[in-house]
Every structure is written in C-alpha cells, then in structure tokens.
Amino acid sequence: MNNQQKDHIISFFEKGIRFDGRKKLDEYRKIKVEKGFSENAEGSARVTIGDTIVLAGVKLSVEEPYPDTPDKGTMMVNVELLPLSSPDFEPGPPAIQAIEIARVVDRGIRESGAIDTKKLCIKKEEKAWSILIDICTLNDDGNLLDASALAVVAALQDTKMPSYNGKVVDYKKKTKDSLPLNLKKMPTSCTVSKIGNHFIVDPTPEEEEKVDARLTVEVEEDGTLCALQKGGDKSLTAEDIDKMVGIGIEKSKELRKFL
C-alpha cells in the first residue's frame, strides 16, 4: 500500500471532502434502482451507485423442503464478480470476496425474517418454493456489497410467481402474486469504512484499497440490526463500532427510500 496516497486521502477527509468531489464523508453517490430488466427472470433489478452497476435476478423453482425445515421454502444468494466488471476479477470459481458478499446479503434477508418462508411451502415435507438469487456485477466502482444488497431487495420486490399446477411450473405464465415479503423487516445494508480516524460510506475502489477496517450494518425499518460483518485488517474499538452502527442506522433511512 502506498502510504503517501493514504496520507493524501486522509488530508482530504480532514477537510471533509473526497477525491471524487463529494463534500461529505457519509454521503452516498447517486443511487438508481431499476426493476424488471429481464423477462426471463421471475424478478430482476439493476442498481447503480455512482459508476458501480450490479444486476440481481431471481429464479423460482419447486423443490423438496430440507428435512429440518419441512414446512418452509428455501433461499439462496450467489454473487458473480464478473471479470467483465473489473480488471481485478478473474474467470473461475467464486473468489472469497464474492462469497463474503453473498453470505452477508443472504444473512441480512434471512435473519430479518423479511421473507415468510412458511408461506413458500406448498405441501409439507414434499414441495416448497425455492428462491434462487444471483447477483452479477457489471462495473466495479466500489461498494459492491451495499449495491448488491439493494439490488437483491429490489429484485425480490419485482418478483412475480410463475403459475404452478401442482406438478409443473409454467414459467411462461407469470401470475400476479408477489413473494410473501414483509417490507418493514426488509434490511438495507450500509458499509461504514474506517480510514485513519475517519469514517466514510460508499467508498470508491481507490478508497477501498486503503480501508483499515469496515463494518457492514444491515438494518430493518425500525432500526433493529439484522446482520453485521466486520472486515479489514485492523481492529475496532467499542466506541468505533457504536459510531459506525449509528452512521449505518442513519444512512439506512436514506437507502430505504429506494425500496
């Protein structure tokens, strides 16, 4: 890591500004959520944060429930950090960064209880809807985690159930039924990064390289935390964490407007 560059970034932070012209450390770049880019997916959304672009798509299938949850449907989140979206990503099996994003996004939605998985059950022990969510990155300009989390929620909201006659799913016939979602519970994700003594949100790749520690804070509408993930090589104090959670909760109010 280039220390001079890091000092330079920090000197900007001391004035409360960012390399890309933002005038606040806790300011997101422009966010855009577009639902329904795909006809073949049961639900889809494209999220842009600054120049970061991610696509999320939902596929549904009818499967046998897991033996330990015989009356519930299932959900899976997968992230593809496509080599098309950054010179740093390579073709091949998912890298650890992709796995982390997928697991953190998965946890937020799962633990918040925003999906009523019992309503996904068609017949106990035999048939239940399985929700397969895939995130594909189109351009990595930083903060893929928050963008992915937002895209997944939007794609879930966009989802329409295909018709099912008890034997086969007819994917060509979408019904008017949505997934059993509880929007109040649906989490937003805000990753707060610490560089030097400063806390920032929505880092660019340049800033991400210099992050000492980060904390992803997933929050429900009433401020309840539903997932956390600490990252970065350095440790955090309890005061740091309290501050970062505060920023995360505050920012979640802004992010909620895009749901």
Partner 1 sequence: MSYTKRNDGRKFDETRPIEAKAGVIKRADGSAYFKMGKTTAYAAVYGPREIHPKFLQDPKNGKLRCFYNMMPFSSMGDRVRPGANRRAKEIAMVTQKALLPVVDLTESPNSVVDVFIELPQTDAGTRCAGICAASIALADAGISMNGMVAAVSIGRVDDKLVVDLDYSEESYEDGTVADIPIAVVSGTEEISLLQMDGELSRDELKQALEMAKKACSKIDKIQRDALKKKYGVKNE
Examine residue 209 and tell whether it contacts partner 1 (CB under 8 A): no
From candidates 9, 55, 77, 217, binder to partner 1 by CB under 8 A: 55
- State how far the Cα of 259 lies from the Cα of 246, in Å rounded to an integer: 21
Cβ proximity to partner 1: between 130 and 188 the closer is 130
Sheet of 225-231, strands arranged across? 198-201, 188-195, 213-219, 225-231
Quick check: 244 and 194 in contact, CB under 8 A? yes
From candidates 106, 134, 220, 221, binder to partner 1 by CB under 8 A: 134
- State how far the Cα of 55 lies from the Cα of 138, in Å rounded to an integer: 7
Examine residue 161 and tell whether it contacts partner 1 (CB under 8 A): no
Least distance CB 207 / partner 1 (angstroms): 15
Examine residue 95 and tell whether it contacts partner 1 (CB under 8 A): no
Quick check: 128 and 118 in contact, CB under 8 A? no
Least distance CB 39 / partner 1 (angstroms): 6
Residue with tokens 């805000």: 190
Examine residue 93 and tell whether it contacts partner 1 (CB under 8 A): yes
Least distance CB 161 / partner 1 (angstroms): 14
Residue numbers 185-204 binding partner 1 by CB under 8 A = none
Cβ proximity to partner 1: between 31 and 190 the closer is 31
Least distance CB 78 / partner 1 (angstroms): 7
Cβ proximity to partner 1: between 50 and 108 the closer is 50
From candidates 33, 47, 54, 58, binder to partner 1 by CB under 8 A: 58
Least distance CB 56 / partner 1 (angstroms): 8
Cβ proximity to partner 1: between 54 and 255 the closer is 54
- State how far the Cα of 89 lies from the Cα of 55, in Å rounded to an integer: 16
From candidates 86, 119, 198, 240, binder to partner 1 by CB under 8 A: 86
Which residues of the chain form contacts with partner 1 (CB under 8 A)?
A: 37-41, 44, 51, 53, 55, 57-59, 61, 78, 80, 82-87, 91, 93-94, 132, 134, 136, 138-141, 169, 171-172
